[in-house]
Amino acid sequence: MDVPNELLRAARVALGIGQRELAKLTGVGQRTILRIERNDETVTVETRRRLQDAFEEAGVTFIPDDGTSGPGLRVRRDVLKQGNLRF
């Protein structure tokens, strides 16, 4: 699934991860993360995929658009118990 930029940002916020921390975790530059979150279409799919992989490893599942409901995300229950969720 090609995760929309808005969901990548939502996952970061939900987990309480700052842009600087995410940059260190993924090896993606902080400025590039900012560009993604500003919906810059020039960022490569491979770069966005690195963020997606990091979020999935942290317990986020991205849910594709099913034609009725838009795309979304789900956070693993054990992550919720840690009190990290920021919604």
Q: Give residue 4's pLDDT.
A: 95
Domains and CATH numbers, the chain: 5-81 (1.10.260.40)
AA letter at 37 = E
pLDDT score recorded for residue 73: 96
Strand blocks (E) in 1-87: 60-63, 72-75
Q: What is the pLDDT of residue 78?
A: 85
Q: Which two tokens stand for residue 29?
A: 């530059």
Q: What pLDDT does residue 1 have?
A: 86
Instruction: Give residue 80's pLDDT.
Output: 73
Q: Which residues of the chain have pLDDT under 50?
A: none
Query: Hey, what are 63's tokens?
Result: 């849910």
